[in-house]
Amino acid sequence: MKMNRSSVVVEFRLVSSFEEVRHKLLSPDCADRLDKPLGYWALPTDRSSPIALMGRSLRELLDTPFEQLHATPGIGQKKIHSLVELLDRAARPEPPGAIANEAAPLDEPTAALSPDNMHVDTSIVSEALWVQWQQTVRDHGLGKETLGRFSPSLQNLPRVIWNTPLDAYTELTLAEIRALKTHGEKRVRAVLEVFGGLHSLLARLQPQPHLAVRILPGIVAQLDVWAASVLRQATAIDAQAIRESFIDPLMAQLRIDAGEQIAQLVETRLRLDGSGASVRQVARRMGLTRARVYQLLGDVGAMMNVRWPEGTTILHEVSETLHAQIKDGAQLELFDAVCELFFAGKRLDHEFHDGDSISMESLQPAHAV
C-alpha cells in the first residue's frame, strides 16, 4: 500500500530515532544492560506497549533491523513508537523516578535536594528503578527491619504485613511481587512507598568508615532523645514537660497511623480532652460495642510496637527514674496511663475509670485486619 506524505515523515522520524538510540545503547556505557529484557524499563502507566517484544533482550532487539521489528505481528505504528521510547529510557543513565541529579557530586549546587526532588512517585517505578531501591536497602543493612517501621502511615499498610521484613522483597522482581497472593495494587504501592522513601533518604549518603547511620521513624528519634535525657537526669521533669515531650508526640503519630477517630477515642480514654466520658459513653457516641472500643485501644499498642519495638523496655527504665524523682504520684498518673495503653505488656492489668476491670490481653485485637 502506498504511504502518504505524512506517513513517510513519521516513518523517517521513527527510523532516525531508533538508529540514534541504538547508537547510544551500543556504546560501552550501556554494555551492562544489553542482556536485560525490554520490559525491564516498562512502567505501570505505559500505554500501547509492544507486548510481543517485551521479553526480548536489548541486544536481540538492536541486532534486528528496524523494518523487521516493525513487521512483527501485533506491532503497529503506536507500538513501534512505544518501542523506541522504551529503548530511549534504557539508554538514560538513571531510570524514570530516580532522584534528580542522583549521581552528581555532593559539592555541586545541584546536589542539594529540595523537598520537591526528594519526592518519589511510586506510579513511576520500573524494574530498573526497583533494583536500585532494593540495593539501597541491602547496602544499608535494613533487610531485617519491618515494613511497618518505615511506612509513612500504617493506615496505608495492611495490618498483616506490618511486621514483614524488608528482606521478604529484596530478592523479588516487581513482576514477582505483583504475582504474590493478596498483593493487589494497593499493597504493592505501600511496599514501594517504604522502599522508595528509604532510597530517597539514603541514596546520596557517602560511606564514612568511622560513622554509622541509623534510620528511625521521626517519632522514635524524638522519643529516644527525650528518654535518654530523662535517664541521664539531664532535663527538668514535671507533668507539663512529660505532656509536651512524650504524650503530644505520641498522639501526633497516632493521628498519622490510625486516623482522627481513633486518636479522639484515645484522648477520651486518657482524659486528654477533659471530657471525662466512660468507655460505655464513648462506645454509644461512636456507634460501637464496648468490645470493639477495647479492640481499637489494643490496636494502639500494636501500632507502637511496630514503630518502636524497643519502646517498652526503654520506658520501663524511664518510669523507674521518674517515680524515683517525682514523689507526687498524681503528676505521673497520666504518664502511667499512656504507657499502659501504648506500651504495656499483656500481663499488666488496668482499672478503667468507668468501673470495668479488664486485662491487657482482652485489649488485643482478636484478628489481624
Residue 238 lies in a domain: yes
Q: Answer yes or no: do 258 and 352 share one domain.
A: yes
pLDDT confidence of residue 99:
65
pLDDT confidence of residue 76:
87
Q: Answer yes or no: do 186 and 83 share one domain.
A: no
Q: Answer yes or no: do 81 and 131 share one domain.
A: no
Q: Which of 316, 351, 303 is nearest to 295 (CA)?
A: 303
On whether the CB atoms of residues 204 and 132 are closer than 8 A, the answer is no
What are 263's three cell numbers? 486518636
Long-range contacts of 267-270 (CB under 8 A, 24+ apart): 269/297, 269/341, 270/334, 270/337, 270/338, 270/341
pLDDT confidence of residue 274:
60
pLDDT confidence of residue 272:
74
Final residue of a domain: which of 159, 174, 202?
A: 202
Residue 369 lies in a domain: no
Residue 323 lies in a domain: yes
| Domain count along the chain | 3
> What is the pLDDT tens value at each position of the chain, 369 positions in all?
445 555 665 678 888 999 999 999 999 999 999 999 999 999 888 888 899 999 999 999 999 999 999 899 988 888 999 999 999 999 998 887 776 444 443 333 333 333 444 456 777 899 999 999 999 999 999 999 999 999 999 998 999 999 999 999 999 999 999 999 989 988 999 999 999 999 989 988 887 889 888 899 999 999 999 999 999 987 778 888 899 999 999 999 999 999 998 998 888 888 776 666 677 887 887 788 888 888 888 899 999 999 999 999 999 999 999 998 888 888 888 899 999 999 874 333 333 333 332 222 322 333 332
Give the CA distances from residue 107 to residues 104, 110, 144, in Å, rounded to whole numbers and listed in that order.
Answer: 8, 9, 33
Task: Tell me which residue range forms the domain holding 193.
Answer: 118-202
Q: Answer yes or no: do 270 and 296 share one domain.
A: yes
Q: Give phi and psi for 9, each to the nearest 5.
A: -65, -45
Q: Answer yes or no: do 351 and 228 share one domain.
A: yes
pLDDT confidence of residue 9:
57
pLDDT confidence of residue 105:
38
Judge if pTM exceeds 0.85.
no
Residue 110 lies in a domain: no
Final residue of a domain: which of 202, 234, 253?
A: 202
pLDDT confidence of residue 109:
32
pLDDT confidence of residue 208:
85
Q: Answer yes or no: do 293 and 352 share one domain.
A: yes
Q: Answer yes or no: do 184 and 286 share one domain.
A: no
Q: Answer yes or no: do 280 and 236 share one domain.
A: yes
Residue 289 lies in a domain: yes
Gap between the terminal Cα atoms of the chain: 61
- Alpha carbon distance 240, 279 (integer Å): 26
Strand partners, 351: 357
pLDDT confidence of residue 273:
64
